[in-house]
Amino acid sequence: MSRHATCRTVRDLLPLHAGGDLPSDKAVLVDEHLHACLTCFREFRDYAAMRGRLGVLAEEPLPEGVLDGFAEEVMACVALGEGGPAAALPSARRWRPDARVITRWAAAAALLLLSGAGLWKAGWLDPLLVTPPPAGSDTVADARLEPDAPRASEPQGRSLSPPAALHPLLDPSRGAGVLAGEGSGVRPHEEPGGWQRGSPIEIELLQLPDMPGGQIRIFHLMSPRVSQPSLLLPEPGRKLRPRDPLEASP
Amino acid sequence: MSLPALKGPRFAPMTVPNRDDHELIRACLDGNRESFATLVKRHEQRAFWAAYRVLGDSEASRDVAQEAFVRVWRALERFDFSMAFSTWLYRITINLAIDHLRRNKRHKGVDIDAFREALPDESFAPAPHAAQDRSEMTRLVRGVLETLDEKYRTVLALRDLEGLSSKQISDITGISHATVRWRLHVARKQFRENWNRMEARATSAAHRAAAATGPEAKDA
């Protein structure tokens, strides 16, 4: 490394050399150059002085009392915030409720409530609500009915019509009413070889007058994967799910 | 070439994972909170100084250090026992300090002139490091350090103030070894340039002041 050829290179290395951060082979070459080049040596001395100034900060004493009770506060935060509230974090300690933020949130909540009330009054929320069936009748909300069945546009909550044909598994002597329609639903309970959630099913709602109260509903659920129809007794008060996200898919 | 020796790191080197720390962490994982308190007491100064190097504000540094320990507690199950606890603590603390700095933006782009005006005139006599007492010198150095961008300041502080190696800094900051060296190079260069610029302005200001007061003194 000759002096004239390498002054620029050496100066590029001086910041790292001043901190002992050069690999030893390069450090030796730089040292050799510094012994021969006063200009570079002065610059090196400048960097060395800079590190000396930084040393003042390295020896700075701990500000008085700054860590008093530090560990205790940390342990308190740990106890409060263990898997829990971010309010336990020190950075959150200084948070104070901002009146403007609270006002904005309150206004937004009021607006939301008013909008909801307006939509409800206009009847836009009706399709989302499941109307419980009136006593003595069964309903299928939003069912897509077969051609011989009443149209879905008819008022909901109507009584079942007399059976046009009874299912072979049902005892005709019971005189059940039948409404055949199709829809989709969620399987009410486990069944061997059963259909999956959202599978298309046929629903038959039966009224059995000889059962207690005459209002027990029997859902006949049949899916392509179930060869034999099954009779299920839903829990009292159970509602049909009139809309299923998969219903719209082909 | 002999170099002016810095006092070096305040703490033990971190090259070998501290077994005691690891035992304490295992005890913490077994539900022993006292062990964590011991761990906090052992490393509280380290965390504070790491934050202070970046932030330069003792109160904010204390908050950041506390938050670092709380995060350590929450993430203790994910601790990698192949590394030193202090490296992990440094990493969390430095990242929190940098986040704090970015949120506040207070330290970014400190103007040397503004810094100079904040100090008494006599601070800018030629060769102030020879004339000022230690606290005054500390203020000057810190002021110049804060003129550096946060990414350069962090590397410079970890290397020259905390005495960590480039490899350790790489582990802590998550940047490559080569990038650490490059940032260190730039940081030292900028620090030197800014310091020299500050001295030059101080010298010219002192000369102007002397020229203004000279005739009056002569008249008197």
**What does the pLDDT look like over A150-175, one tens digit per residue?**
433 333 333 333 333 333 333 334 33
Output the CA–CA distances (angstroms, integers) from residue B207 to A60, A229, B127, B128, in the order listed: 32, 105, 13, 14
pLDDT band for position A81 (cuts 50, 70, 90):
low
Check A56 against B166: CB less than 8 A apart.
no
Per-residue pLDDT tens over the stretch B81-94: 888 899 999 999 99
Check A19 against B184: CB less than 8 A apart.
yes
- Residue B186 is classified by DSSP as H
Taking the C-alpha atoms of residue B90 and residue B101, their distance in angstroms, rounded to an integer, is 16
Residue ranges, chain B, pLDDT below 70: 1-19, 105-132, 214-220
List CB contacts (< 8 A) between B45 and chain A: 62, 67
Which of A15, A51, A63 has its CB closest to that of B185? A15
Check B188 against A18: CB less than 8 A apart.
yes
Taking the C-alpha atoms of residue A46 and residue B105, their distance in angstroms, rounded to an integer, is 31
- Residue B1 is classified by DSSP as -
pLDDT band for position A127 (cuts 50, 70, 90):
low
Which of A31, A66, A71 has its CB closest to that of B40? A71
Which of B62, B100, B184 has its CB closest to that of A66? B62
Taking the C-alpha atoms of residue A137 and residue A204, their distance in angstroms, rounded to an integer, is 13
What's the token pair of residue A124?
A: 């836009």
Cβ neighbours, 10 Å, residue A204:
26
pTM for the structure as a whole: 0.54
Q: What are phi and psi of A201, to 5 degrees?
A: -135, 165
Q: Please tell me which residue, A120 or A163, carries the higher pLDDT value.
A: A120
Give the pLDDT confidence score for residue B63 in this predicted structure.
92
Q: Taking a C-beta distance cutoff of 8 angstroms, is the pair A200, A223 a contact? A: yes
Give the pLDDT confidence score for residue B102 in this predicted structure.
83
Least confident of A14-18, A40-44, A133-137: A133-137
A92-101, A120-129, A216-225, B73-82: which is most confident: B73-82
Least confident of A16-20, A30-34, B4-8, B129-133: B4-8
